[in-house]
Structure 1
């Protein structure tokens, strides 16, 4: 498996794709990240066409087990961020 792309590498690739400088690419990436974070934190969802959908899901209160002791513990309800991958991306990876 290849190493994940770092933010620096992503900014450089984005700048090249946009035909802009790295400063503009960094600003664009930071803006997209901030928008996704804000919308998902507020309970909304964001769809990036061709990539996927980011959304927040609530998990109910449940019993979990401490792996070290085997003790059952009640875990409070919480929220988790989910990503559903777009069909176009899945298809491009499997071709």
Structure 2
């Protein structure tokens, strides 16, 4: 009896044309992460825009959110998401390798809260 091999999913299509059709058939709704390039491609196709334009908008959104978080502001897009800054107090922790007690400094954290439309989409 042969040792069992892990299931790695379907093999990628062999021909260039098949691979192109396979990529086009993928959607944003799947169980793996969507990277930036895939997100830009999907939004560009959906909105009928150039990928360069969508990438510029995405980079501007990121820059705007980073600036707001740096100032401590809350950004809210009703139905979609809200981003705000939270505070984590200083606390005592333990080094797992040595068991030694260490002091963990206070830090600011970023809170992302999904809006109602996003939550509804996740529960369909």
The question of a shared fold, defined as TM-score above 0.5 by the shorter chain, is answered with yes
| Shift, 1:54, TM fit | 1.0
The total of aligned residue pairs comes to 95
List structure 1 runs of 4+ shifted beyond 2 angstroms: 48-51
- Cα deviation digits, residues 15-52 of structure 1 (max 9, x gap): 12222111111111111111011101111111233321
Partner of 1:45: 74
| Shift, 1:81, TM fit | 1.0
Q: Are 1:84 and 2:110 counterparts?
A: no
Q: How many Å separate the matches in 1 of 2:78 and 2:44?
A: 20
How do 1:23-34 and structure 2 match up within 5 A?
Answer: 23-34=52-63
Taking structure 1 as the reference length, the TM-score comes to 0.88
SS in structure 2 at match of 1:9: helix
Cα RMSD, aligned residues only:
1.5
Task: For structure 1, list consecutive stretches of 5 or more residues without a partner in the other structure.
Answer: none
Match of 1:66 among 90, 95, 101: 95
